[in-house]
Amino acid sequence: MYEMKTRIRFSDISRDGTLRLYELPKLFQDSSIEHSESLGIGIPFLEPKNLAWLLTSWQIDIDRLPEYAELVTIQTWPFEFKSSFGYRNYRMIGEDGEAIVQGYAIWLHTDIKEMKPVRVLEEEAEKYGFEPRIEMEYTPRKITLPEDMMVVSDLLVSPHYADMYRHLNNAMYVDIASDYLPKGEEVRRIRVDYRKQVKVGDQLVIKQQIVDDHCYIAFYDEQDELHVGTEFLISKK
């Protein structure tokens, strides 16, 4: 298990004084990278081999969001490797010592030059080791979207949104999708299903639909091909 502590800063919060939703995947993603770096198998190890860990999905379950100035502990660990896939748990511990957010992600060990999956190296698996997985509901990696998704906006992907690979940063999908959530609702679960990477200069079409207590926001290209789907489990505040 890897741990990192951080204090919720002013720039991290929304109008209600709690952590912005998209800061959760950002913090969890950063903890994964810091874990790898601490073991000597991070970006400097992977990059010369044309390798990278790419996200395929998130599930983040929220009991409560941390508040401004709260000191939180992020914990992460892998619980399984299967061929080119890595399965990793995440937990956020609040200042009260309770787990307030937890989840899991599926990462794909990828040759970024050929853009194809590569089996996890024995050296990596041995250094990471394993911990038991969190006892929680594990939803499928892929999100089934409603058929009647409605167009709500479009987006030209500018360099502002890019990561080091000039792709739309993983957490930014949650940030953008948050603009299309219904007002006056709390988010209890975030799911993200990454199908195709989005690069700087791509034109996206954003669609939304609400079904009962689920809000779906998805990102399509101009040919109506799905790139990323998100699902938010919502409830009245």
Domain edges within the chain: 2-128, 150-236
| E strand map for the chain | 2-7, 51-62, 71-82, 85-93, 99-111, 116-117, 150-156, 185-194, 203-211, 214-220, 226-236
Q: Say what the pLDDT of residue 11 is.
A: 95
- Tokens for 110? 């990828």
Share of the chain above pLDDT 70, in %: 100
CB 234 within 8 A of CB 215: yes
Question: Which one, of 133, 118, 19, lies nearest residue 75 by Cα?
Answer: 133
pTM across the whole model: 0.95
pLDDT given for residue 103 in this prediction: 97
> Can you read off the two tokens belonging to residue 233?
């489990």
Pick the CATH number of 150-236 from 3.30.70.330, 3.30.450.20, 3.10.129.10, 3.40.50.720: 3.10.129.10
What is the chain's length?
Answer: 237
The whole-number pLDDT of residue 73 equals: 98
State yes or no: pLDDT of 165 exceeds 80: no
CA of residue 10 relative to chain centroid, distance:
22
Cα–Cα distance for residue pair 50/28, rounded to 1 Å: 23
Q: What's the whole-number mean pLDDT along residues 181-199?
A: 94
Q: 184 pLDDT band (50/70/90 cuts)? A: confident
Distance CA 189, CA 101 (A): 9
User: Residue 161: is its pLDDT beyond 90?
Assistant: no
Q: What is the pLDDT of residue 167?
A: 81
The 10s digit of each residue's pLDDT in 8-50 is 999 999 999 999 999 999 999 999 999 999 999 999 999 999 9
Strand-pair partners of 29: none
Q: Find tokens 């399984």 and name the residue.
A: 80
* pLDDT at residue 82 in the model: 95
Range scoring the smallest mean pLDDT among 37-41, 173-177, 196-200: 196-200
Residue 213 pLDDT level (bands cut at 50, 70, 90) = very high
Greatest Cα pair distance in the chain: 49
The band of 65, judged by pLDDT with boundaries at 50, 70 and 90, is very high
- Residue 187 in 3-state DSSP? strand
> Which residues share a beta bridge with 109?
53
Q: What is the mean pLDDT of residues 48-60?
A: 96
pLDDT band at 162 (very low <50, low <70, confident <90, very high): confident
Average pLDDT, the chain: 95
Could you tell me the two tokens for 161? 């949104």
Q: Which CATH superfamily is domain 2-128 in?
A: Hotdog Thioesterase (3.10.129.10)
Q: How big is the CA angle at 209 (ends 193 and 159), to the nearest 5 degrees? A: 50
pLDDT tens-digit series, residues 72-115? 999 999 999 999 999 999 999 999 999 999 999 999 999 999 99
Task: Flag whether pLDDT at 169 surpasses 90.
Answer: no
Mean pLDDT of the 131-147 span: 96
- Give me the amino acid identity at 212: D
